[in-house]
Each structure stands twice: as structure tokens, then as C-alpha cells.
């Protein structure tokens, strides 16, 4: 066949392909259907378990079998997505109404993952079987071919539960996402019944029956007045707090016990919460807390904070709500697939779709049941009629040469070829007009049905069938009757599966945190040669002055409310709050200074450090590897930023010194070739921090500065140079921007 080249615009092709992909993700993977509240992977997994016969009253089956069967028949998207959906549907801390009964390790509220699918087992929950899958044999929903057209799968499960609201849903599609909180089953059914009786009911009235979300983890919703607007539009933010109780201990002490957590804290966020509390203690924002322990178990959440005697527990609770995820926000976006397209729905719209779906299910169910009852009636009436003329029927059967002849006689009165005992019998047989279905039932009838009691039971059964037909016709023909049936089914589900509300919904005042004003006081900053920093009391320093000065690289006083400035060879200045540094005993090790700032000792070298309070009234001498010098006013380094550029460096240049000067010192420049130049600091001009500076020393080709030394005139300063001690004071004085003198090796 001749090859054809189809020319098309690349952008058009990309646009079409991307739209196809996006719609596939939106409709077939990420978003739930408003009717049964399930995503495709959840629906397929539950249906496969139903098909495999893994019912609630039967033994558990390996999850690997369920996942493999689901993937092979209905969901060809990988086993991990199927198993994850199976696990989530079994977790009571995520779902208000778990749909799968898991056996084995299915993860924990603290974020532990489930065991591998080869170890775990599962089966359907009773509610899933009775309220989601019970009527699949009654033609209540449409079935479509699976991906390879070898199986059939339901388009939607015939859910009697308003599952989209009860279990909620979370999913990220392309360009859109859904986030629906879980609700209380009993309350949602009450709201659905109220809407069913009065479609014009307002959202505010519905919310008297369903006050708001009911999270499996409990907690407290604190913005009750904002909820009607959220449920009207389908979008908004729900504020949730954990439940904190105060327990009294012996000796007048108290402890805070967190018994319920915000729904958003499930998983790794519990560990983050504990770390955040520990950080508050370390930063002395919550010094009242003496110990933190997570005593949670299968019985529930129990996080204990032990407190000092006399602690203001209310103020501490407010601090925890404000500074940790003990108060969090749940973003609501009630997006679901409705009528084949994604749509953001309010509460009334969701209930409307649910009720419409219930009417559709009831109509299809009772039509199917009516059809079956009418078939039963036809057969029953035929058998009863046959019992009245059983002798004639036996005569027809005995006189017939084939089943076809007998059947033709029973249905159409054709007597040719049939031997009768008398002409009267032939005339009577010619008048028979059983239906085809009745004739088949008569031909298949066993002789024991001719017993008197069996005939009476058949008559009673026919009466029951007639009653059922009348009932089903009434349901299908009268809207009120169908409504009563739907309400009856809702009430049955409510009685069997509802549970008390766990989440409290109320209005609470916004947390106003009055941070304790820290009493300003001087402290001593100490940092050893390994970069471990701490602050100590001035009096402690005075008692250990000699040891502190000899053991530490940097020692200076600062205010506890101030900041520390760290200058690095990259020309940057990093700031650290003094309050962030550990305050303790003289022999405490301290903490690496990297932990408190953006300074990274693996990529930068520290060249100077000082208190911002002290620097702003002083001047700093800057010197670089290329020999550039300048003096900068310390006030230029006042900033609220954690990192700023301290000076301008040319390419491949590095900063060697950033040290406080009063202008009276001597500066000595030391080059790699062994040249030393001594001159007064007063010869170095003052520049802005953004300037490169002036040349301090004339360097030979390939030479560069190794060090910059600063000392006060009248004091002796010596350095180690190539194995011998060199006294800087004895160097010949020179002028800035000269070559200097070469030291003897």
C-alpha cells in the first residue's frame, strides 16, 4: 500500500494530545463520581472483590490476589495505585466509613506504611456489600466493556450511601484538584432526607442537621459561622484544632495531653509537630515544657507535654495553636464528576445528584423485580391451571410422539398426531392456550407437585407474587411511594452503620498570642575553633575568664535580644539571633553555628564575627586575597535579612579579614611569596560596603595575600612564618600600595 504523509500543525497536535491526556486523568483516575463518591480505581477494586466472592462473612484473601485480579481485569495502571487505594479504604483514621476490612499491617496514623501486599489480607466490609454492591444483579446500573473488552464492569456502583460526603475525597488531576472532608453518616442521611422532602430547603437549614465535617481523628472545627458559605459554594477553608486536656499530677504539677489531632496532621506531620514543640523549648519560647512523649497506641492519640509547676496552661495552649500544626486549615474544594464532566458542587447540588441517583436506582431495581414477578405469576397461573386439568395434560403427554407435539398442543391446541382416549379429550385439548413459558414449566413439572399441600403452597405463592406485583407497580407509578421506599432504605442504613459524631463544631476566638517580652540583658558569646557556639551569663564568664579566652576562638559580649554577624570568605554576612543560640553552662558543648544561619562551613570559611549592636557604632577593616583594602562604617550592616552581601569581590577573589578597627592600629599584609608590608590603618580610605576598595600592596605576578594582620601600636604581635616566629612590630614601616619587604626564610 502506498505510504501517505499527513501534514498537520504541531501545536494543534500537541494541544489535542494534552487535552486527551488531561481528560483521561480527570475522568478516569483522579476525581470521584458524585453518585457513588468513588474514583475508578476504588470502584474497580471493590467490584473485583465482589466478583471474587470476598464477602464480609467469608475468610480474608491475600491483597496480592485482589490487586493482581483487579489490574488484569479492570485497572491496567500498575499495582501500587490499586494497593494504595485498597489500603486507604481500610484505614479508619482516614475514612469515616471504611469500605474494606483489612487484616494485617495496614499502616498507622503516624505515617507508617502498610506491609507489602503479599503479607496482608482483606475482605469487604458489611456496609460495602449491603449498601454499595447488593443490587448489581438487578440491572440497576449500566455495564461497559473493560480495557480489553473481555470483561464487563459497572459504570458506577449502586451506592445507597451518600459516600462523596461521608468519606470525602482527595485527588490531584490536571489543572484541578478535589478536597472534600468526611462527614457523619447519620447526619448526612438526615440532611438527604430533609432535601428529599423539600428541595427548596436552604443550606443553613441543612446544616442544622449536618453541622459540618466529622473527621475520623476528631478535633474541633473553630469557624462554624463560615461553614454555610463554604457549603453553599463548595470552596473555602475550615480551621481545625486538636483537642488538648489538662491533667493534674502530684505535687501541684500539670501536664497537657493532646487526645485528638487535626485531620491534616495525619502521617509525618505528627513527627513534625513533636519537632516543632521541641524547637519552641530549645528557643526558650516554651520553657515551661520539661518533657515531650508520644504515648499514642491503637486505643487513640495521646501526646503528653509535662510542665513546670505553676505554668499558665491556657497561654501555653495558645502558643501551641499559633506556632505548631495543632491548629491547621483544611482547604475545601468539592470537585467531582457530575454528568460526565468535572464540576465544583455545593452541599445542595451534591444531595440533588445523590437523590436523583437513588430514584434512578429504585426505578431500575423495581422494574427488574416487577418483570421477574410477572414471569413468576405467568408460570404460577399456568401450573395452577394445569393442576385443574392434569388428567388431560397427562393424556396429551402420553399420546404425543415428541416434546414438540406436546408443546404445540398446550400452546396452540394442535392435536394432529396425538393419540387421545376419546374424542371429547381431543376437543378439550384443542381449546388449550397456555403461553410458551407456561407450557415449558408444565413439561418440566415434577409429579410431587400434584400433592395437595404442594398445590396449596403454589396457590399461596401466587398470592404473594400478586401482592409483590401490586407493590412494585405502586412504587413505579407513584412518586410518593418510591420516596417512602428510598427513605426506608436510608433509615435502615442509618440504623445499621451510623456512629456518634467525633468532631466538635463551634465558634472560637482567633488566637491572640502575647509573646512574653524578654528582659534585655548582656550575655557572653563563645565559639570554639570547631565552630560550636553558645552564650553564657556574664558572671559565669568572669569566673572562668582565663579558660574561656584560651579555649575559644571568639569571645565577646552582646545583648540577648541582639544579633550576631558572621562574615565569610565569600563576601557574605549571615545574621543569627542571639536568642536562637543555646544559653547554658560554661562547660556545655554548644551547637554548630551552621545550624542557626545560612552559613555553610563546608563551602564558606569564617573570617570575622561580631555583635550587630557593637558593629553599628564601629568601623570594620576588609582585606581580600587580591590585596584590596577598605574601611566600612558598621552601621551599613544593620539588616533584618538572614544573609546579605558584606562586600564586593572581583572574580575568584576571597575575603581574608573583616575586623573591627578604631583607626589607630597597624595593619600588616602577608603575601604568598613572603613579602610583608606594615603601615597604619589610617592610610586605608573609608568606602561603602558595595565598593571593591583600594590596593593595599603591590603584588608580583602570580603572588597573592595569604593573611592580613591587625594590631595596636605599642603591643607586640608575632606570627609563625615558615617554621620560625616573626615579630610584626619589628618589620620596617612602609606605605600603602608599595611592595613591602621580603622576609628571610
Residue 336 DSSP SS3: strand
The pLDDT of residue 99: 96
214 lies in some domain: no
The mean-pLDDT minimum among 16-25, 470-479, 575-584, 613-622 falls in 16-25
We report the CATH number of the domain holding residue 88 as: 3.90.199.10
Shared-domain flag, residues 530 and 455:
no
Shared-domain flag, residues 718 and 572:
yes
**H or E element: which one contains 72?**
helix 63-73
231 lies in some domain: no
Give the pLDDT confidence of 87-106 residue by residue, as tens digits: 999 999 999 899 999 999 99
The pLDDT of residue 354: 96
Shared-domain flag, residues 127 and 74:
yes
Residue 33 DSSP SS3: strand
Number of H helices, E strands in the chain: 21, 35
**Residue where a domain terminates, one of 464, 497, 530:** 497
pLDDT at residue 310 tops 80? yes
Q: What angle do CA 211, 216, 220 make, to 5 degrees?
A: 50
pLDDT at residue 182 tops 90? yes
The domain of 54 spans: 38-158
> Residue 178, Cα to own-chain centre: how many angstroms?
12
331 lies in some domain: no
198 lies in some domain: no
Q: Quick count: other Cβ atoms within 10 Å of Cβ 183?
A: 26
How does DSSP assign 645-713, residue by residue?
E-S---TT--EEEEEEE-S-EEEEEEETTSEEEEEEGGGSPB--TTS--EE-B---TT--EEEEEEEET
Range with the largest mean pLDDT of 198-212, 659-673, 715-729: 198-212
Shared-domain flag, residues 247 and 321:
yes
Residue 144, all three cell numbers: 461497559
pLDDT at residue 723 tops 90? no
Shared-domain flag, residues 303 and 401:
no
712 lies in some domain: yes
224 lies in some domain: no
Give the pLDDT confidence of 364-394 residue by residue, as tens digits: 999 999 999 998 888 888 888 888 788 888 8
Strands 220-221 and 504-505: parallel
344 lies in some domain: no
Quote the crossing angle between the two packed helices 79-88 and 63-73, to the nearest 10°.
120
We report the CATH number of the domain holding residue 265 as: 3.30.1360.40
The pLDDT of residue 24: 66
The pLDDT of residue 452: 59
**String of b and e for 194-223 (b: at least 16 CB within 10 Å)?**
bbbeeeebebeebbebbbbbbbbbbbbbbb
Q: How many whole angstroms separate alpha carbon 161 and alpha carbon 141?
A: 15
pTM of the model as a whole:
0.74
**Residue where a domain terminates, one of 109, 135, 158:** 158
Shared-domain flag, residues 425 and 472:
yes
Residues with catalytic roles: 119
Confidence of residue 561 (pLDDT cuts 50, 70, 90): confident
pLDDT at residue 699 tops 60? yes
Shared-domain flag, residues 585 and 659:
yes
Shared-domain flag, residues 548 and 488:
no
| 696 contacts 684 by C-beta, under 8 angstroms | yes
Q: Give the residue among 319, 299, 297, 296 at the shortest CA–CA distance from 307.
A: 319
We report the CATH number of the domain holding residue 679 as: 2.120.10.90
Shared-domain flag, residues 493 and 533:
no
**DSSP code for 510:** P
List, in sequence order, every beta strand (DSSP E) within 85-176: 100-103, 121-124, 143-145, 152-154, 169-172
pLDDT at residue 345 tops 70? yes
List, in sequence order, every beta strand (DSSP E) within 528-592: 532-537, 554-559, 563-568, 572-577, 591-592
Shared-domain flag, residues 492 and 527:
no
Average pLDDT over residues 655-660: 91
| 9 contacts 17 by C-beta, under 8 angstroms | no
pLDDT at residue 515 tops 70? no
Q: How many whole angstroms separate alpha carbon 208 and alpha carbon 222?
A: 16
30 lies in some domain: no
Confidence of residue 519 (pLDDT cuts 50, 70, 90): confident
Q: How many whole angstroms separate alpha carbon 448 and alpha carbon 629?
A: 119
Confidence of residue 513 (pLDDT cuts 50, 70, 90): low
Give the pLDDT confidence of 110-134 residue by residue, as tens digits: 888 999 999 999 999 999 999 999 9
Shared-domain flag, residues 605 and 728:
yes
pLDDT at residue 727 tops 60? yes
The pLDDT of residue 451: 66
We report the CATH number of the domain holding residue 460 as: 1.10.268.10
Q: How many whole angstroms separate alpha carbon 696 and alpha carbon 381?
A: 119
Average pLDDT over residues 67-94: 93
The pLDDT of residue 175: 75
**DSSP code for 450:** G
Shared-domain flag, residues 492 and 591:
no
Total of domains in the chain = 4
pLDDT at residue 109 tops 70? yes
Q: How many whole angstroms separate alpha carbon 71 and alpha carbon 45?
A: 9
Amino acid at each position: 500500500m502506498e505510504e501517505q504523509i499527513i501534514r498537520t500543525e504541531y501545536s494543534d497536535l500537541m494541544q489535542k494530545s494534552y487535552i486527551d491526556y488531561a481528560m483521561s486523568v480527570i475522568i478516569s483516575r483522579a476525581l470521584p463520581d458524585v453518585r457513588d463518591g468513588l474514583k475508578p480505581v476504588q470502584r474497580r477494586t471493590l467490584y473485583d472483590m465482589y466478583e471474587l466472592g470476598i464477602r464480609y462473612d467469608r475468610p480474608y484473601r491475600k491483597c496480592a490476589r485482589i490487586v493482581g485480579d483487579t489490574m488484569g481485569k479492570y485497572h491496567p495502571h500498575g499495582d501500587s495505585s490499586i494497593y494504595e487505594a485498597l489500603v486507604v479504604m481500610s484505614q479508619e483514621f482516614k475514612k469515616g466509613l471504611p469500605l474494606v476490612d483489612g487484616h494485617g499491617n495496614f499502616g498507622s496514623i503516624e505515617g507508617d506504611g502498610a506491609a507489602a501486599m503479599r503479607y496482608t489480607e482483606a475482605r469487604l466490609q458489611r456496609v460495602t456489600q449491603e449498601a454499595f454492591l447488593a443490587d448489581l444483579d438487578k440491572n440497576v446500573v449500566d455495564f461497559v466493556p473493560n480495557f480489553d473488552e473481555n470483561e464487563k464492569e459497572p459504570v458506577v456502583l449502586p451506592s445507597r450511601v451518600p459516600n462523596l460526603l461521608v468519606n470525602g475525597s482527595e485527588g490531584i488531576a490536571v489543572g484541578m484538584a478535589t478536597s472534600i472532608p468526611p462527614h457523619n453518616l447519620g447526619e448526612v442521611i438526615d440532611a438527604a432526607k430533609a432535601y428529599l422532602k423539600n428541595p427548596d430547603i436552604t443550606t443553613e437549614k441543612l446544616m442544622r442537621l449536618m453541622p459540618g465535617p466529622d473527621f475520623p481523628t476528631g478535633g474541633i472545627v473553630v469557624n462554624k459561622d463560615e461553614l454555610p458559605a463554604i457549603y453553599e459554594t463548595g470552596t473555602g477553608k475550615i480551621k481545625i484544632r486538636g483537642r488538648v486536656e489538662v491533667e493534674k499530677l502530684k505535687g501541684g504539677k500539670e501536664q497537657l495531653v493532646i487526645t485528638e489531632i487535626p485531620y491534616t496532621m495525619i502521617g509525618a506531620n505528627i513527627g513534625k509537630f513533636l519537632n516543632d514543640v521541641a524547637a519552641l523549648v530549645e528557643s526558650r519560647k516554651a520553657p515551661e515544657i520539661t518533657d515531650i512523649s508520644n504515648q499514642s497506641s491503637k486505643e487513640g492519640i495521646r501526646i503528653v507535654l509535662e510542665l513546670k509547676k505553676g505554668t499558665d496552661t491556657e497561654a501555653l495552649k495558645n502558643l501551641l495553636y499559633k506556632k505548631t500544626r495543632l491548629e491547621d486549615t483544611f482547604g475545601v474544594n468539592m470537585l467531582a464528576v457530575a454528568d460526565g464532566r468535572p464540576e465544583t458542587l455545593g452541599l445542595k447540588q451534591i444531595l440533588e445528584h445523590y437523590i436523583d441517583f437513588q430514584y434512578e436506582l429504585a426505578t431500575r431495581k423495581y422494574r427488574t423485580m416487577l418483570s421477574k414477578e410477572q414471569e413468576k405469576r405467568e408460570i404460577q397461573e399456568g401450573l395452577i391451571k394445569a393442576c385443574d386439568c392434569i388428567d388431560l395434560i397427562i393424556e396429551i403427554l402420553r399420546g404425543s410422539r415428541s416434546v414438540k407435539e406436546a408443546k404445540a398442543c398446550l400452546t396452540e391446541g394442535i392435536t394432529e398426531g396425538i393419540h387421545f382416549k376419546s374424542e371429547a379429550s381431543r376437543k378439550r385439548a384443542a381449546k388449550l392456550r397456555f403461553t410458551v413459558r407456561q407450557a415449558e414449566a408444565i413439561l418440566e413439572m415434577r409429579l410431587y407437585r400434584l400433592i395437595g399441600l404442594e398445590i396449596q403452597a403454589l396457590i399461596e405463592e401466587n398470592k404473594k407474587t400478586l401482592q409483590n406485583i401490586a407493590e412494585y407497580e405502586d412504587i413505579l407509578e407513584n412518586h410518593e411511594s418510591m420516596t417512602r421506599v428510598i427513605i426506608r432504605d436510608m433509615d435502615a442504613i442509618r440504623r445499621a452503620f451510623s456512629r456518634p459524631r467525633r468532631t466538635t463544631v463551634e465558634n472560637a476566638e482567633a488566637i491572640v498570642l502575647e509573646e512574653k517580652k524578654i528582659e534585655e540583658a548582656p550575655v557572653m558569646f563563645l565559639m570554639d575553633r570547631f565552630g560550636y557556639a553558645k552564650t553564657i551569663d556574664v558572671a559565669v564568664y568572669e569566673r572562668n575568664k582565663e579558660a574561656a579566652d584560651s579555649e575559644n576562638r571568639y569571645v565577646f559580649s552582646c545583648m540577648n535580644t541582639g544579633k550576631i554577624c558572621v562574615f565569610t570568605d565569600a563576601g557574605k554576612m549571615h545574621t543569627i539571633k542571639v536568642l536562637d543560640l543555646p544559653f547554658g553552662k560554661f562547660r556545655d558543648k554548644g551547637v554548630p553555628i551552621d545550624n542557626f544561619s545560612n552559613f555553610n562551613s563546608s563551602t564558606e570559611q569564617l573570617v570575622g564575627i561580631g555583635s550587630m549592636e557593637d558593629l553599628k557604632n564601629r568601623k570594620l577593616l576588609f582585606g581580600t586575597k587580591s590585596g584590596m583594602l577598605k574601611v566600612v562604617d558598621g552601621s551599613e550592616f544593620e539588616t533584618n535579612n538572614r544573609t546579605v552581601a558584606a562586600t564586593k569581590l572581583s572574580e575568584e577573589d576571597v575575603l581574608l579579614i573583616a575586623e573591627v578597627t578604631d583607626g589607630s592600629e597597624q595593619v600588616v599584609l602577608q603575601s604568598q611569596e613572603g613579602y610583608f608590608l606594615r603601615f597604619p590603618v589610617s592610610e586605608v580610605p573609608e568606602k561603602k560596603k558595595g565598593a571593591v576598595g583600594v590596593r593595599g600592596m603591590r603584588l608580583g605576578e602570580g603572588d597573592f595575600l595569604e593573611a592580613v594582620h591587625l594590631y595596636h601600636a605599642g603591643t607586640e604581635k608575632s606570627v609563625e612564618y615558615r617554621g620560625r616566629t616573626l615579630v610584626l612590630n619589628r618589620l620596617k614601616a612602609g606605605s600603602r600600595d608599595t611592595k613591602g619587604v621580603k622576609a628571610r626564610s
